[in-house]
Amino acid sequence: MNFHQLIPQVDSIIQGSSSVDEKLLAICTLLEANVEYYNWVGFYFRNGDKEELKLGPYVGAPTDHTIIPFGKGICGQVAVSNQNFVVPDVSAQDNYIACSITVKAEIVIPIFVNGENIGQIDIDSNTPDPFTEADERFLEYVCAQISKILS
Ligand code: SME
Protein backbone atom coordinates (compact mmCIF):
# COMPACT_ATOMS: atom_id res chain seq x y z
CA MET A 1 0.00 0.00 0.00
CA ASN A 2 1.35 3.44 -0.83
CA PHE A 3 1.28 6.51 1.39
CA HIS A 4 -1.59 8.05 -0.57
CA GLN A 5 -3.75 5.06 0.32
CA LEU A 6 -2.73 5.17 3.99
CA ILE A 7 -3.75 8.79 4.56
CA PRO A 8 -7.53 8.13 4.79
CA GLN A 9 -6.82 5.36 7.29
CA VAL A 10 -4.68 7.70 9.39
CA ASP A 11 -7.48 10.29 9.26
CA SER A 12 -10.03 7.70 10.32
CA ILE A 13 -7.93 6.64 13.34
CA ILE A 14 -7.43 10.28 14.37
CA GLN A 15 -11.15 11.04 14.10
CA GLY A 16 -12.21 7.92 16.03
CA SER A 17 -13.54 7.85 19.58
CA SER A 18 -10.79 5.81 21.25
CA SER A 19 -8.21 7.21 23.69
CA VAL A 20 -5.10 9.04 22.53
CA ASP A 21 -2.87 6.06 23.39
CA GLU A 22 -5.18 3.68 21.52
CA LYS A 23 -5.03 5.95 18.47
CA LEU A 24 -1.23 6.14 18.65
CA LEU A 25 -1.00 2.37 18.89
CA ALA A 26 -3.41 1.97 15.96
CA ILE A 27 -1.18 4.24 13.88
CA CYS A 28 1.88 2.16 14.80
CA THR A 29 0.02 -1.00 13.80
CA LEU A 30 -1.20 0.51 10.51
CA LEU A 31 2.24 1.72 9.49
CA GLU A 32 4.17 -1.40 10.52
CA ALA A 33 1.69 -3.64 8.71
CA ASN A 34 1.53 -1.67 5.47
CA VAL A 35 5.02 -0.32 4.81
CA GLU A 36 7.26 -3.33 4.35
CA TYR A 37 10.46 -1.56 5.39
CA TYR A 38 8.90 -0.17 8.62
CA ASN A 39 9.91 -2.84 11.14
CA TRP A 40 9.59 -0.97 14.46
CA VAL A 41 7.20 1.96 14.79
CA GLY A 42 6.81 3.87 18.02
CA PHE A 43 6.39 7.17 19.81
CA TYR A 44 8.57 8.95 22.33
CA PHE A 45 7.28 11.95 24.29
CA ARG A 46 8.92 14.48 26.55
CA ASN A 47 8.73 13.13 30.11
CA GLY A 48 7.02 15.97 31.98
CA ASP A 49 9.45 18.82 32.60
CA LYS A 50 12.49 16.54 32.44
CA GLU A 51 15.11 16.76 29.72
CA GLU A 52 14.33 13.23 28.60
CA LEU A 53 12.05 11.24 26.33
CA LYS A 54 9.74 8.48 27.53
CA LEU A 55 8.60 5.60 25.33
CA GLY A 56 4.93 5.68 24.35
CA PRO A 57 2.89 3.24 22.26
CA TYR A 58 4.91 1.14 19.81
CA VAL A 59 4.77 -1.96 17.62
CA GLY A 60 7.81 -4.18 17.17
CA ALA A 61 10.44 -5.80 19.34
CA PRO A 62 10.43 -4.67 22.99
CA THR A 63 13.18 -2.15 23.74
CA ASP A 64 15.16 -1.50 26.92
CA HIS A 65 15.33 2.17 25.96
CA THR A 66 12.16 3.38 27.62
CA ILE A 67 13.86 6.61 28.77
CA ILE A 68 16.25 8.51 26.48
CA PRO A 69 18.03 11.67 27.73
CA PHE A 70 17.84 14.73 25.46
CA GLY A 71 20.86 14.72 23.14
CA LYS A 72 21.42 10.95 23.31
CA GLY A 73 20.87 8.74 20.28
CA ILE A 74 18.96 9.70 17.18
CA CYS A 75 15.79 10.31 19.20
CA GLY A 76 17.49 12.48 21.81
CA GLN A 77 19.12 14.57 19.09
CA VAL A 78 15.73 15.25 17.47
CA ALA A 79 14.40 16.35 20.87
CA VAL A 80 16.89 19.24 20.76
CA SER A 81 17.26 19.91 17.00
CA ASN A 82 13.50 20.08 16.25
CA GLN A 83 14.32 18.63 12.82
CA ASN A 84 13.65 15.42 10.96
CA PHE A 85 16.54 12.97 11.23
CA VAL A 86 16.90 10.40 8.45
CA VAL A 87 19.63 7.82 9.04
CA PRO A 88 20.32 5.65 5.97
CA ASP A 89 22.96 3.59 7.81
CA VAL A 90 22.85 3.44 11.61
CA SER A 91 26.36 1.91 11.75
CA ALA A 92 27.75 5.21 10.46
CA GLN A 93 26.32 7.16 13.43
CA ASP A 94 28.45 7.83 16.52
CA ASN A 95 25.53 9.04 18.62
CA TYR A 96 23.17 6.11 18.15
CA ILE A 97 21.38 3.82 20.63
CA ALA A 98 20.99 0.32 19.23
CA CYS A 99 17.71 -1.37 20.08
CA SER A 100 18.14 -4.43 17.88
CA ILE A 101 21.03 -5.78 15.85
CA THR A 102 18.71 -6.25 12.86
CA VAL A 103 18.16 -2.50 12.45
CA LYS A 104 19.93 -0.90 9.47
CA ALA A 105 18.24 2.50 9.18
CA GLU A 106 16.09 4.87 11.21
CA ILE A 107 13.85 7.90 10.69
CA VAL A 108 12.63 10.24 13.42
CA ILE A 109 10.12 13.05 12.83
CA PRO A 110 9.28 15.53 15.61
CA ILE A 111 5.72 16.29 16.74
CA PHE A 112 4.94 19.93 17.48
CA VAL A 113 2.06 21.21 19.59
CA ASN A 114 1.68 25.00 19.49
CA GLY A 115 5.19 25.24 18.05
CA GLU A 116 6.76 23.18 20.84
CA ASN A 117 8.57 19.91 20.16
CA ILE A 118 6.71 17.54 22.48
CA GLY A 119 7.68 14.17 21.04
CA GLN A 120 8.34 12.20 17.93
CA ILE A 121 7.56 9.21 15.79
CA ASP A 122 10.52 6.82 15.53
CA ILE A 123 10.77 4.15 12.84
CA ASP A 124 13.46 1.50 12.52
CA SER A 125 14.08 -0.44 9.34
CA ASN A 126 15.86 -3.73 8.75
CA THR A 127 16.42 -2.58 5.15
CA PRO A 128 19.50 -0.42 4.40
CA ASP A 129 18.82 3.13 3.17
CA PRO A 130 15.05 2.70 2.58
CA PHE A 131 13.72 6.20 3.34
CA THR A 132 12.98 8.93 0.79
CA GLU A 133 11.43 12.38 0.95
CA ALA A 134 8.07 10.66 0.48
CA ASP A 135 8.51 9.04 3.91
CA GLU A 136 9.33 12.42 5.45
CA ARG A 137 6.31 14.14 3.89
CA PHE A 138 3.97 11.28 4.87
CA LEU A 139 5.28 11.11 8.45
CA GLU A 140 5.10 14.90 8.79
CA TYR A 141 1.43 14.60 7.83
CA VAL A 142 0.91 11.84 10.43
CA CYS A 143 2.62 13.95 13.11
CA ALA A 144 0.53 17.01 12.23
CA GLN A 145 -2.66 14.99 12.63
CA ILE A 146 -1.44 13.58 15.95
CA SER A 147 -0.67 17.12 17.12
CA LYS A 148 -4.39 17.91 16.81
CA ILE A 149 -5.37 15.21 19.32
CA LEU A 150 -2.61 16.19 21.77
CA SER A 151 -3.39 19.92 21.96
N1 SME B 1 17.75 4.04 17.93
C2 SME B 1 17.17 5.06 18.75
C3 SME B 1 16.72 4.52 20.08
C4 SME B 1 15.30 4.09 20.09
S5 SME B 1 15.05 2.57 19.37
O6 SME B 1 15.27 2.75 17.91
C7 SME B 1 13.53 2.03 19.61
C8 SME B 1 18.14 6.19 18.96
O9 SME B 1 19.31 6.09 18.59
O10 SME B 1 17.72 7.20 19.53
Taking the C-alpha atoms of residue 75 and residue 16, their distance in angstroms, rounded to an integer, is 28
pLDDT for residue 9 is more than 80: yes
Q: What is the distance in A from the centroid of ligand 1 to the CA of 70?
A: 12
- CB-ligand 1 contact for 147 (6 Å cutoff): no
pLDDT in tens, 34-45: 999 999 999 999
Q: What is the distance in A from the centroid of ligand 1 to the CA of 10?
A: 24
pLDDT at 151: 81
3-150 belongs to CATH 3.30.70.260: no
pLDDT for residue 20 is more than 80: yes
pLDDT in tens, 88-138: 999 999 999 998 999 999 999 999 999 999 999 999 999 999 999 999 999
Percent of the chain scoring above 90 in pLDDT: 97
pLDDT at 54: 98
Q: What is the DSSP string of 2-25?
A: -HHHHHHHHHHHHHSSS-HHHHHH
Q: CA dist 143 to 7, 43, 57, 64, 101, Å?
A: 12, 10, 14, 24, 27
pLDDT for residue 1 is more than 90: no
- CB-ligand 1 contact for 93 (6 Å cutoff): no
pLDDT at 73: 98
pLDDT in tens, 39-77: 999 999 999 999 999 999 999 999 999 999 999 999 999
Q: What is the distance in A from the centroid of ligand 1 to the CA of 64?
A: 10
Q: What is the distance in A from the centroid of ligand 1 to the CA of 100?
A: 9
